[in-house]
Each structure stands twice: as structure tokens, then as C-alpha cells.
Amino acid sequence: MPTVHIELFPGRTLDQKRACAVAVSEAIVKTLGGTYDGVDIVFTEVDKSNWATGGKLWSDKTTTPAPTPKPGT
Amino acid sequence: MPTVHIELFPGRTLDQKRACAVAVSEAIVKTLGGTYDGVDIVFTEVDKSNWATGGKLWSDKTTTPAPTPKPGT
Amino acid sequence: MPTVHIELFPGRTLDQKRACAVAVSEAIVKTLGGTYDGVDIVFTEVDKSNWATGGKLWSDKTTTPAPTPKPGT
Amino acid sequence: MPTVHIELFPGRTLDQKRACAVAVSEAIVKTLGGTYDGVDIVFTEVDKSNWATGGKLWSDKTTTPAPTPKPGT
Amino acid sequence: MPTVHIELFPGRTLDQKRACAVAVSEAIVKTLGGTYDGVDIVFTEVDKSNWATGGKLWSDKTTTPAPTPKPGT
Amino acid sequence: MPTVHIELFPGRTLDQKRACAVAVSEAIVKTLGGTYDGVDIVFTEVDKSNWATGGKLWSDKTTTPAPTPKPGT
């Protein structure tokens, strides 16, 4: 514990997941405490045809949101 | 999206959650891409009497695991 | 928010999911308030061999339940 | 089945949940098929201090999003 | 791993959860393999006013289902 | 109800899931009460490349944990 579930669109590489697992585990331990080895992370890939926002499937959206600048930048 | 669910024991302060929300959102965007504003994080506090590992409720465990050094340290 | 997760058996067409996304988002906003664009819906397809009711996998059940009349009809 | 989980902010009345349960169950059956009696709906109330979007807890946001017109209106 | 989430109505005693944690962990290891210490169980108590079946909240149902005999009995 | 979600690595046979569904349903009813037919169990198979513990994907771990003796043995 903690246990982290991350729902995301498919298409990330194994290296991206590796990096994400390290970065999120570190972020969790740094801010919430607990032990690094106790952090479980589960990635759930959700196809764009299975995710709707505002009543519209993402597979039907023609534009993807542009990257948003991080806060403070 | 992505959407992140974090199950954790109660007791973290609002400031810890604030810091965690920022740190995890940054970790996600940095490693997986996507937009910072698109990251949703939901904290679910699970009482120790509602979480068992190895058949034993955490509220019944007398010792808590010691902090684990981060990898590479 | 709200975020809606729908677990269902596979086999629905894209058109069914499109219609469901609209109908459920409208139902949510109409009854709970909030914004239409803020409703996220995630479909999770669960194979019949991965869902058991009463100790029996649905892939092993020979009869499927007949459609139930809506209340009031 | 299907099973529907709805994560939402607290504050809805029992009557709102009653209406939502009916409306969502009807929307599901109408668009996806299946039986009305087979639809399970679970509401999970998430406090604004436990939900962050874009790295910011909703309890720290000063403005709430205005109602969005439904598509087509 | 495996990780088990159990959604249930409130009202069970700590002793019932203790017994359940042991019994479910044993059932998992016996049938699926894996290690006993690796089984995580999280109980999520869902109030009857937050769970609807067939469009009706359980808090509005006047009759509760009678215990069903186990299969084979 | 109760509803049980079991996240596990892929590779179990249909017979293992059948046995698990029976054993877990019995364990639930025996310890928590409720009706056998009311227990829903959903298996979610999580690939080892989608599950990290301690910042490391299970697909990158070279050693798997040895079976742990049950408590009391």
C-alpha cells in the first residue's frame, strides 16, 4: 500500500511504463510517506472506443487536446 | 485522462494530498505524455480494519514495515 | 466528474456504445446535475469466462436471463 | 450485469440518487440490451479534498465549472 | 497479488472481516496458486442508499433476499 | 452483493477460475453471510508488464516469490 491504478489509452511503450512506475512510486513515497517497495501500480489500458467524455467516444473525436503547460510555466 | 486512483490508509493531511496531486500528475505527464490538466487523481482512504494482507487485517498487525530505502541509495 | 465505469459482457457494437455514452451522460446530468462535458464514461468488457454469479462462470451457464419488463410496464 | 460505478461529489439527495438509478438503468438497457433487473449501480461519493484535476484538489478550486449546454442545443 | 476488492453492505463485525480475510486468502491460494502473503484484500462498505439493483436503491427495498442454499444442498 | 473483483496475472485455466469462483463465494457467504447466488466475482487479468511493485514491472523481475506456507503451518 498504497495501491495505484492508472487508466490510460493504449500505445505507451514498456520503457514509458517502466519510467512511470519509478516516477509515480517516488512521488507517492515522497509526498505521502510509506515504503517504496509497498507501492503497487496497475496500468489499465482503455481503448479510445471504450472511453467517452461529454457523451462522445474518444475514437470519434477528431482533435486531441494540445499539451498543457505545467503550472508555473 | 489518464485517471489515477490511489488507495491509501487514512491520516494524510490536506497538504500531503496537495503535494501528491502535483507530484503524481507531473510524474504521469513526464513519463507517459498527455496533458497536465487532463490528469484526474482520486484518493480512496481505506481504514486499516478494511485492508488485509496475507489474511491479516492491518489493524491487527502490531508492527508496521520500516521505511525502505529508495532504489540506488 | 462524475466518472462512470460500466462493466459489461463483450459484443456491443460501436454504435451501441455511442448511444449508451450519450444516454447515460444525459441521465447523469438530468438527475444529478453537473456538466455534460464533465461526465467520463469508461466501458470495461468482461469476458463471460471471467464473471461468475452464484459461484458459476457465465460461460458455463446454459440459459441467459430473459429480458425483464421495465418497472411499471 | 452490467455493473455501473458512479464516482461523484457528495451532496446529492436520496431522491436524486433514486432518479439517477432509474434513469441510468433505463439508459443502459435501452442502448446495450440486457435486463433492467440485472443492472447494478454503485454510487461512490468522493470528497472534493480527495479528487484532483490538473494537480489541484477540487476543494482548492474557487470556481466551479458552469453548466454546459447539452450537445445540439 | 492477487488483489481482491470486496464491495459489501456495512454492518459486518471486525471478527467477520478477520474470518473473511483468512477464508478468501486461503480460497485464492488453493485454487489459483500464488502466495498467501501476497494476497491483498480490501473491503469497501457501500451504504444501501448508494447501491441500486434494477433501478431501486437497496435502502428502499422492503424485503431482503432469503439465504440461498449452497449448490448441492 | 457482495461483489468481488480479483486482479491477477494471466495464465490460470478455466478450471482454476471455476474452482476459485466456488471457493471464494463459499468463503464469503460462510464468513459474511448473505446469499450464495448474490455473490458476483469478476476476474481482471493484469499482464506482468502492467503491474509494478516497488517501482519495478513484474515482467522485469527475474525471480518470482516462493510459495509462502499458510499461517499455522
Whether D67 shows a pLDDT value over 70: the answer reads: no
Report the C-alpha gap between A7 and B34 in whole angstroms: 12
- Return the residue in A3, A9, A30, A40 with the most chain F beta carbons within 10 A, the one to mutate for interface testing: A40
Domain membership of residue A57 (yes or no) is: no
* A73 pLDDT tier (thresholds 50, 70, 90): very low
Q: Which amino acid is at E11?
A: G
Q: pLDDT tens across E51-67, in order? A: 999 999 999 998 655 55
Residue B4, min C-alpha distance to chain F (Å): 14
Helix (H) or strand (E) holding E43: strand E40-45
Instruction: Say which residues have a Cβ less than 8 Å from residue A13's Cβ, sequence separation at least 6.
Output: none
If phi over 0 gives left and psi between -120 and 50 gives alpha, with beta otherwise, what is residue E36? alpha
What's the number of domains chain A is made of?
Answer: 1
ipTM at complex level: 0.84
Q: Shortest CB distance from C55 goes to which of E54, E56, E71?
A: E71
| pLDDT at residue A62 in the model | 81
Question: F51 CB near a chain A CB, below 8 Å?
Answer: yes
Question: D40 CB near a chain E CB, below 8 Å?
Answer: yes
Report the C-alpha gap between F24 and F3 in whole angstroms: 11
**Which is higher by pLDDT, D31 or D64?**
D31
For residue E40, which residues of chain A lie inside 8 Å, CB to CB?
1, 3, 40
Query: Which residues of chain C are under the pLDDT cut of 50?
Result: 69-73
Mean pLDDT of the residues in chain A: 89
Question: C57 CB near a chain F CB, below 8 Å?
Answer: yes
Q: pLDDT tens across A22-54, in order? A: 999 999 999 999 999 999 999 999 999 999 999
| pLDDT at residue A71 in the model | 46
Whether D64 shows a pLDDT value over 60: the answer reads: no
Closest among A46, D67, C62, F21 to E24, alpha carbons compared: F21
**Which is higher by pLDDT, F63 or D57?**
D57
Residue B40, min C-alpha distance to chain C (Å): 9
Question: B3 CB near a chain C CB, below 8 Å?
Answer: yes
If phi over 0 gives left and psi between -120 and 50 gives alpha, with beta otherwise, what is residue E15? alpha
Domain membership of residue C60 (yes or no) is: no
Domain membership of residue C7 (yes or no) is: yes
| pLDDT at residue B70 in the model | 47
Q: Supply the residues of F annotated as catalytic.
A: 2
Domain membership of residue E63 (yes or no) is: no
Question: E62 CB near a chain F CB, below 8 Å?
Answer: no
| pLDDT at residue D63 in the model | 63
Report the C-alpha gap between C11 and C7 in whole angstroms: 12
| pLDDT at residue B62 in the model | 81
Identify whether the C-beta of residue C13 lies closer than 8 Å to the C-beta of residue A57: no
Q: pLDDT tens across D13-23, in order? A: 999 999 999 99
E strands present in B1-73: 3-8, 40-45, 51-53, 56-57
Q: Do F49 and A22 touch (CB under 8 A)?
A: no
Query: Which residues of chain B are under the pLDDT cut of 70?
Result: 63-73
Q: Shortest CB distance from B54 goes to which of E14, E39, E42?
A: E39
Report the C-alpha gap between E3 and E25 in whole angstroms: 10
* D71 pLDDT tier (thresholds 50, 70, 90): very low
Question: B72 CB near a chain F CB, below 8 Å?
Answer: no
| pLDDT at residue B65 in the model | 54
The residues pairing with F54 across neighbouring beta strands, listed in sequence order, are none
Domain membership of residue A31 (yes or no) is: yes
Question: D38 CB near a chain F CB, below 8 Å?
Answer: no
Residue E12, min C-alpha distance to chain F (Å): 7
Q: Supply the residues of B annotated as catalytic.
A: 2
CATH number of the domain to which C11 belongs: 3.30.429.10
Domain membership of residue F46 (yes or no) is: no
| pLDDT at residue F34 in the model | 92
Domain membership of residue F53 (yes or no) is: no
Q: pLDDT tens across E1-54, in order? A: 799 999 999 999 999 999 999 999 999 999 999 999 999 999 999 999 999 999
Q: Do C55 and F43 touch (CB under 8 A)?
A: no
- C-alpha grid cell, residue B24: 503524481
For residue D46, which residues of chain B lie inside 8 Å, CB to CB?
42, 44
Q: pLDDT tens across D31-54, in order? A: 999 999 999 999 999 999 999 999
- C-alpha grid cell, residue D16: 436524486
* D30 pLDDT tier (thresholds 50, 70, 90): very high
For residue E55, which residues of chain C lie inside 8 Å, CB to CB?
71
Question: E44 CB near a chain A CB, below 8 Å?
Answer: no
Whether F68 shows a pLDDT value over 80: the answer reads: no
Q: Shortest CB distance from D55 goes to which of B22, B44, B45?
A: B22
**Tell me, what DSSP letter sits at residue F30?**
H
**Pairs of residues, one from chain A and one from chain B, whose beta carbons lie less than 8 Å apart:** 113
Identify whether the C-beta of residue A6 lies closer than 8 Å to the C-beta of residue A41: yes
Residue D8, min C-alpha distance to chain E (Å): 11
**Tell me, what DSSP letter sits at residue A34?**
S
Identify whether the C-beta of residue A31 lies closer than 8 Å to the C-beta of residue B16: yes
| pLDDT at residue D33 in the model | 94
Tell me how far apart the 2 most distant CA atoms of chain E are, in Å. 42
* F64 pLDDT tier (thresholds 50, 70, 90): low
Whether F13 shows a pLDDT value over 90: the answer reads: yes
Q: What is the pTM of this model?
A: 0.87
Q: Do A51 and C42 touch (CB under 8 A)?
A: yes
Question: A28 CB near a chain F CB, below 8 Å?
Answer: no
| Domain hosting residue E7, numbered range | 3-49
Residue F7, min C-alpha distance to chain A (Å): 9
Q: Shortest CB distance from A70 goes to which of B6, B36, B65?
A: B36
Q: Shortest CB distance from E50 goes to which of D26, D36, D42?
A: D42
Domain membership of residue E72 (yes or no) is: no
| pLDDT at residue D1 in the model | 73
Report the C-alpha gap between E14 and E28 in whole angstroms: 21
Instruction: Say which residues have a Cβ less than 8 Å from residue A53's Cβ, sequence separation at least 6.
Output: B1, C37, C39, C40, C41
* F62 pLDDT tier (thresholds 50, 70, 90): confident
Quickly tell me which residue has 425483464 as its cell: C68
